[in-house]
């Protein structure tokens, strides 16, 4: 399907430079955007056994995500209820969560189970000082948290795609590879780049050969979840170094010759391929630096398939990623110049313009 002529940026222009360079705006983003929306922290498989723990960091906030003895996944602020010391510095396996300062100790369910010498304090009750909880949600094998005190329901936030990907069976997939990057660019530049393929013939010739840039469509064109499918040029092809499938097929029918790309505001890219699923988790580090954590998810039986080789996908996307990070870093350098004046979006950048609208709306700006 060729979507040329169906898309429009509506005459929109790129964002002014201050949105990429002003530390005050970045501080507002951490509070109003990342601090109020559902953020992916990884896969449930990272928390296989009771006591398995991962940490999530965002600005000054740190969150402990842990599987309890009752097999439930919970999240807590990584802050001791005594005098505020940080409890855990790394993820790992814990039987209890113990403060390194005064040894206040918490169960995996957040209850305060030990507080040395506090029995002498009149009226002290351990039940009054559990770890402060953080909202959690599980979806397609992913773990999400929300730092807001009264977050929007996960099912409502993810309504556009909540039940859309049953064909891929994402919940059962296994992580075959993980790669992290640090990019010297504002996090929004990564979103804006991912949302359009106007740049693909120039920056990604190998990608454009498999999925020509005009063979794209968008089924979600407004709001905080955006994107849609692109057509794969050849039958039984995939986004790999060889151009062929590199794992057991996950889908059949029309989806077998499509790749689906979605941006999930403000911290996740989701790419669904015929033979694997790729995620990019976006972690803003500063106004001009972003960490990106990529995971390639395959059928659990991929090792038993003759010719299966996830590295074919990892190597392909590592090259594409680095091509993207380079131009995002060039953009970061340019938008800080006094000479930068926002230019008009092409019609092929309609989803980028939609991202900008969602971003400004979330920030409370016209």
Distance CA 164, CA 162 (A): 6
Which pLDDT score, from 0 to 100, does residue 215 have?
83
Which pLDDT score, from 0 to 100, does residue 157 have?
98
Do strands 277-286 and 289-298 pair parallel, antiparallel, or not at all (unpaired)?
A: antiparallel
Name the residue with higher pLDDT: 52 or 307. 52
Instruction: Kindly report the average pLDDT of the chain as a whole number.
Output: 95
What CATH topology corresponds to 1-36+163-366?
Answer: Naphthalene 1,2-dioxygenase Alpha Subunit; Chain A, domain 1 (3.90.380)
Using pLDDT thresholds of 50, 70 and 90, give the confidence band for residue 216: confident
Where are the chain's structural domains?
A: 1-36+163-366, 39-157
In this structure, how many other beta carbons lie within 10 angstroms of the beta carbon of residue 260? Answer: 21
First to last CA, the chain: 34
Q: Which two tokens stand for residue 348?
A: 């092929």
Per-residue pLDDT at 10 exceeds 50: yes
Question: Is the Cβ–Cβ distance between 191 and 282 less than 8 Å?
Answer: yes
pLDDT tens-digit map of 296-315: 999 999 998 888 999 999 99
pLDDT tens-digit map of 248-288: 999 999 999 999 999 999 999 999 999 999 999 999 999 99
Distance CA 263, CA 355 (A): 9
Of 267, 283, 282, 291, the residue nearest 184 (C-alpha): 291
Of 212, 179, 139, 136, the residue nearest 279 (C-alpha): 179
Which pLDDT score, from 0 to 100, does residue 6 have?
66
Per-residue pLDDT at 13 exceeds 60: yes
In this structure, how many other beta carbons lie within 10 angstroms of the beta carbon of residue 86? Answer: 15
Q: Does domain 39-157 have CATH number 3.40.50.720?
A: no
Using pLDDT thresholds of 50, 70 and 90, give the confidence band for residue 187: very high
Distance CA 302, CA 124 (A): 55
């Amino acid at each position: 399907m060729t979507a040329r002529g169906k898309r429009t940026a509506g005459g929109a222009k790129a964002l002014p430079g201050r949105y990429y360079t002003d530390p005050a705006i970045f501080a507002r983003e951490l509070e109003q955007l990342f601090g109020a929306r559902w953020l992916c922290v990884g896969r449930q498989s990272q928390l296989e056994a009771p006591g398995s723990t991962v940490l999530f960091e965002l600005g000054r906030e740190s969150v402990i995500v842990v599987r309890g003895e009752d097999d439930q996944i919970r999240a807590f602020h990584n802050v001791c209820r005594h005098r505020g010391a940080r409890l855990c510095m790394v993820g790992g396996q814990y039987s209890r969560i113990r403060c390194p300062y005064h040894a206040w100790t918490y169960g995996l369910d957040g209850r305060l189970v030990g507080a040395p010498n506090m029995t002498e304090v009149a009226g002290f009750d351990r039940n009054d000082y559990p770890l402060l909880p953080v909202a959690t949600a599980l979806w397609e094998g992913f773990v999400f948290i929300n730092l807001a005190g009264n977050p929007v329901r996960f099912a409502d936030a993810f309504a556009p795609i909540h039940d859309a990907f049953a064909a891929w069976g994402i919940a059962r997939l296994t992580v075959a590879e993980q790669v992290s990057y640090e990019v010297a660019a504002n996090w929004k530049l990564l979103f804006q780049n991912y949302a359009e393929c106007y740049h693909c013939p120039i920056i990604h010739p190998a990608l454009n050969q498999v999925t020509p840039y005009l063979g794209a469509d968008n089924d979600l064109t407004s709001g905080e979840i955006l994107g849609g499918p692109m057509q794969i040029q050849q039958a039984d092809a995939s986004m790999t170094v060889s151009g062929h499938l590199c794992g057991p097929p996950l889908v059949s029918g029309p989806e077998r010759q499509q790749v689906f790309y979605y941006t999930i505001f403000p911290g996740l890219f989701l790419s669904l391929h015929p033979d694997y699923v790729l995620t990019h988790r976006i972690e803003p580090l500063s106004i001009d630096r972003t960490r990106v954590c990529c995971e390639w998810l395959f059928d659990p039986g991929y090792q038993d398939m003759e010719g299966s080789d996830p590295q074919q996908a990892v190597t392909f996307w590592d090259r594409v990623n680095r091509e993207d990070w380079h131009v995002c870093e060039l953009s970061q350098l340019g938008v800080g110049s006094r000479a930068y004046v926002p230019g008009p979006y092409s019609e092929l950048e309609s989803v980028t313009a939609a991202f900008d609208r969602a971003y400004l709306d979330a920030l409370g700006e016209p």
